[in-house]
Amino acid sequence: MKPSILVLGSVWSDDVREQVAQAFDCHFMKAIPQAGDAAFDAIAGSIRGVLTTGTVGVTPALVAQLPRLEIVTVHGVGVDAVPLSLLAEKGIHVTNTPDVLTDDVADFAVLLLLSTVRRLPVLDRYVRAGDWLAKAPLGHVQARALKGKVAGIVGFGRIGQAVAARLQGFGLQIRYYQRSPGPAPAQRSASLLALAQESDMLVLCMPGGADTQGMIDRAIIEALGPEGTLINIARGTVVDEAALLAALQDGRLGAAGLDVFEHEPQVPQALLALDNVVLTPHVGSFTVEARRAMGALAVANLVAHFNGEPLPTPVD
Ligand code: 8YV
């Protein structure tokens, strides 16, 4: 008999669905089931594994309803939506999908940075609206150059370093900040505030979770300044979204490219009205190739666990 697993979230491509369905008795649910969900109650006692996304994760309440749970597999690198210490206490394994998405997420960070500083969506809308034909003025659009400027990377792990390597090719000077020193010869600023003061653009690549919650606050945003650009491909929770919105509205911050939001998929209505922002729906790893590799690695972790083999990518 195939082990029963719960598959949470709405990101699954047909090939991931097929792969998991081959190996497991799968129960798909788009969101974490609410108390009193009869369909879930009927299967909860049989569930031995959960496959979930980086943002849906699992909650302590869900874990409490799954008495036979042995493993939580995250389809993504970030594990901030998973209660790691609770799962460790219960002896439940956790895995994620590092490395296979690094290049595509780093590419996306660069894409979002370029789109933001060159105001790509504004220009696209200009053509579509017939403004080019109508010879409407374009001089108010503040497209900016990258060359010779300083890019500050917050979080200098695998993704941060991959972003830095790409941005060097655009003639940007690179600095970074994280608590522990990263690999030489990259230049680490003395503090996050110093990095924001020294940089023309900040690219957020740090993990989410309690340690980084609200780290990009009003002081950091103001230090980046009226000509500065903020790019967030990390987690919405790392930014004080209200402070960001206010600074973008009144010109204390130049521009922002945002792939993640505090309460996604909700995006503050006022952000939608701004021309100095580029908004995308949490798609850093959204390529056919990365999503296929993430799916395969997630399934490989589940299969290894149920075969009693070492887990390919456990989270410590
Ligand atoms: C995904 C992510 O969007 O890797 C992460 O941490 O946030 C993303 O790659 C998500 O986890 C897809 O399942």
Q: Which residues are catalytic?
A: 235, 264, 282
Contacts of 96 (CB under 8 A, 6+ apart): 54, 73, 74, 76, 77, 78, 79, 313, 315
The DSSP bridge partners found for residue 174 are: 151
11 in ligand 1 pocket by Cβ < 6 Å?
yes
CATH, residue 113: 3.40.50.720
The DSSP bridge partners found for residue 187 are: 175
- The helix-helix angle for 102-117 and 120-128 (nearest 10°) equals 60
Q: Are 276 and 270 in contact (CB under 8 A)?
A: no
Q: Does any domain span residue 314?
A: no
Give the containing element (helix H, strand E) for 314: none
Task: Look up residue 191 and give its DSSP letter.
Answer: S
Residue nearest to atom 5 of ligand 1 (CA): 76
One domain, residues 106 and 212: yes
One domain, residues 88 and 221: no
One domain, residues 110 and 243: yes
CA distance 188 to 263: 31
One domain, residues 110 and 254: yes
Q: Does any domain span residue 175?
A: yes
CA distance 14 to 218: 42
Give the mutation target among 11, 53, 283 for probing the ligand 1 site: most ligand atoms within 8 A of CB.
53
- Tell me which residues of the chain have a pLDDT lower than 50: none
pLDDT tens, residue by residue, 38-47: 999 999 999 9
Where are any strands of DSSP class E within the chain?
Answer: 4-8, 25-29, 47-53, 71-75, 93-95, 150-154, 173-177, 187-188, 201-204, 229-232, 255-258, 277-279
**Per-residue model confidence (pLDDT) at position 100:** 98
One domain, residues 201 and 58: no
Tell me the CA–centroid distance for residue 111 and ligand 1, in Å.
17
One domain, residues 131 and 192: yes
**Per-residue model confidence (pLDDT) at position 1:** 87
pLDDT tens, residue by residue, 47-106: 999 999 999 999 999 999 999 999 999 999 999 999 999 999 999 999 999 999 999 999
Global pTM value: 0.96
Cα–Cα distances in angstroms (integers) from residue 140 to residues 22, 114, 124, 196, 308, in the given order: 56, 18, 15, 26, 63
Question: Which structural domain range is residue 47 located in?
Answer: 4-98+288-306
Number of folded domains that form the chain: 2
**Per-residue model confidence (pLDDT) at position 185:** 84
ipTM score assigned to the predicted complex = 0.96
* Cα angle 254, 260, 265; round to 5: 120
